[in-house]
A and B are shown apart, each in its own frame.
Chain A
Amino acid sequence: MAILLQLIASGVAVGMIYAAIAFGYQLTFATSKTLNFGQGEALALGALFGLTLVPFIGYWLMIPLVLVFGFALGAVVERLGVRPAVKIKSEYGWIMATIALGIIFKNVAENIWGRDDLKFPSPLPETALQVGGVRILPMELLIVAGALLMMLAVEIFNRKSIWGKAVVATSNDIDAAGLMGINTQKVITLSYSISAMTAAFAGVLVAPVTLTGATMGSVLALKAFAVAIIGGLESGLGVIVGGLILGVAETLTGFYISTGYKDVPGLILLLVVLSIRPVGLFGKAVIKKV
C-alpha cells in the first residue's frame, strides 16, 4: 500500500507537467483551431533561458523573466508559423511550420547551451519529506502548486479581464467576435503567447527534477499531446485529470511491469479514447451549427 501511494504521489507531479503543457495546446486550439507542435521546444528554451538567469538573480526572480520570454516566443511562433499558413488557407501548413520552428529552436538551443544535459539547481531542499510513509520531494509539491496556479491565473484572466473575455468570445464564434470590434488576429497571437508562456513556465518547474537540455521537451510535449487528446481539447478539467491518469499510469507501469514499458499505457489509453470517444473523456460533442 505504501508503495502504491508512493507511486501515485510521484505520478501526480509528472502528470501536472503534462497537464500544464496540454493546457497550452488547448489555449491556441480554442481561438484558432491550431496547435503549436513546438511546445516542447518552448518548454526547453524556457528552462535553458531560466538556467542562464538563475546564477544572477536566483530561481524566484528568474520566473517572471521566463514568463516574458515565453510570451514573446509564442508571438514569434504565431507570426512566422501559423498566420501565413492560415492566411493562404493551407489547412495543414501550420503543422509543418510549427514543427519546423520547433526544430530550429532546438538547433539554436544546442548551439547556445550545448548538446549535453545540464543540471538545474533546485530552489528547494532536495531531501524528501515524509508524509504518511510517502516520500515527496519539495520540488514535486512546487510543480503541482505552480501548474495549478498558472492554470488558475489564466482562467481568472479569461473570466475577469476584457481581453480575456475577448479570448473566450473568439473561441466561441470568431466572426461574431470580429463584429464586436475585437481584433481576432491579435487575440490568436495573444493565445499563442500565453500558450508558450505556460510551456516555458512548465520548463522551469520540471527542470530541477529532470535534466535540462535542448531535447528535454520533446517527449514531454508528445505525452502532453496525448493528454490533450485524452482529456479533450476543450476541457480545462480534462487535461488535469488526463495528465494525472497518464502520470500515475506511467509510474505504476514502470514499477509493476518494467520501466521499459513506462510509455506504453499512455499511448494505449490514447488509442482507446480515440476509438471510443474521439472528443476526449471530458470533451463536448461538437455540433456543427449552420
Chain B
Amino acid sequence: MLEVTGLSAGYGQVEVLHGLDFTVPKGQVVALIGSNGAGKTTTMRALSGMIRPRAGSIRLNGREIGGLDSHDVARFGLAHSPEGRRVFPTLSVEDNLTLGAFPRLTGSRPKGDVAADRARAFELFPRLKERRTQLAGTLSGGEQQMLAMGRALMLRPEILLLDEPSMGLAPKLVEEVFRIIRLLKAEQVTMLLVEQFAMAALGVADHAYVLENGRIRFQGPAQQMRNDPAVRAAYLGGSH
C-alpha cells in the first residue's frame, strides 16, 4: 500500500502542496478530488517522481520512494497514467504497450509473461487490438486514453495512478473508462484516481480525499461523501 505523510511539493518558487497525509490501502480505490488548481495533478507528479517532493515521505509497501527519479519509482511498481495521456505518438499501439513493461523486459522487475499481459490488455480494450499496428498518434482521444491505461497496466503495478482519465472524452467514452476502472477494481488493482467528474469518481472509489489549495480539506468513505450535502454543494458541483 501507499502511505503519504507531510508531502509538500511545487514548481520553482511556488509551493503547491502544503503537507498532505493520505493512504491508499492495498486492493482499494482512492479518489482525490477538488477544483482546478487544488493540486491533484501535482500530487500525482510528486508521487511518480516527475517532480521532487520538498518535504514529507512517500512509502510504497513500506519502502521510501519519495525523491527517486520516475524510472526508479516505476521499478518499485508504481504506474502512472498521466494527465493528457502522453502516449508515444510515433510508436505503434503494440510498442506503446510493450514499453509499459520496460522494467520487466530489462530485468528490474520480475518478467512474467509480457505477451500474455499484452493479450490481456487487448481483451480489456478491444479497440486497441484492431489498431495494434497503427501509430499511437493517429488514435482518437478515447483510444489514446485506453492505450495510456493499458500501457500503465503492463507494469503489473503495485499501485496504478490514474490522472484525469476522462478528460476531454465524449460521455460515452467516459462511461467506458469508468467501466474499465470498475473492472480493475474487481480484480483488486490498487488505484489512486484523480477525476474532475467527482460524482463518478466517488461512485467507484472506496475512500476519497478532497483537496483544496494544496491541503486535504475533507476525507472519508466515498459513499458517505457522495451523500454529504455540504461536500456536494461545495466541491462536487452537482453534475455527474
Contact = CB atoms under 8 A, between A and B. Distances in A.
A162 B99 CA distance: 8
A184 B71 contact: yes
B71 A178 contact: yes
A172 interface: yes
Interface residues of A, number: 20
Contacts of A172: 88-91
Contacts of B86: 173, 175-176, 179
Contacts of B49: 178
Contacts of A176: 82, 86-88
Interface in B21-65: 48-50
Given A182-B71, A184-B71, A162 B89 contact: no
B69 A162 contact: no
A132 interface: no
Interface stretch (A54-62, A120-128, A145-153, A163-171): A163-171
B155 A165 contact: no
A183 interface: yes
B105 interface: yes
B3 to A, nearest CB: 21
Contacts of A175: 50, 70, 82, 86
A186 to B, nearest CB: 9
A260 interface: no
B99 A182 contact: yes
B113 to A, nearest CB: 16
Contact of A168 (B75, B91, B108): B91
B132 to A, nearest CB: 15
B193 interface: no
A219 interface: no
Given A178-B50, A178-B74, A182-B102, 12 more contacts: A168-B90, A172-B89, A173-B86, A173-B88, A176-B82, A178-B71, A179-B48, A179-B74, A179-B80, A180-B151, A181-B71, A181-B155
B74 A180 contact: yes
15 contacts: A162-B98, A168-B88, A169-B91, A172-B91, A176-B82, A176-B87, A177-B99, A178-B50, A178-B70, A179-B82, A180-B71, A180-B74, A181-B71, A181-B74, A183-B71
Nearest to B154: A180
Contact of A181 (B82, B87, B103): B103
Nearest to A171: B90
A181 B87 CA distance: 14
Interface bin, chain B:
20 to 34
A165 to B, nearest CB: 5
Interface string A179-200: 1111110000000000000000
A175 B103 CA distance: 16
A180 B72 CA distance: 10
B13 interface: no
B50 to A, nearest CB: 6
Scoring B79, B102, B151 by chain A CB atoms within 10 A of each residue's CB, the highest score goes to B102
Interface string B161-185: 0000000000000000000000000
A235 to B, nearest CB: 12
B67 interface: no
A254 B151 CA distance: 55
A245 to B, nearest CB: 25
A9 B53 CA distance: 60
A165 B74 contact: no
Contacts of A171: 90
Nearest to A178: B70
B91 A165 contact: yes
B117 interface: no
Interface in A231-290: 289
Contacts of B106: 162-163, 181
A182 B155 CA distance: 12
Interface string B90-110: 110001001110110110110
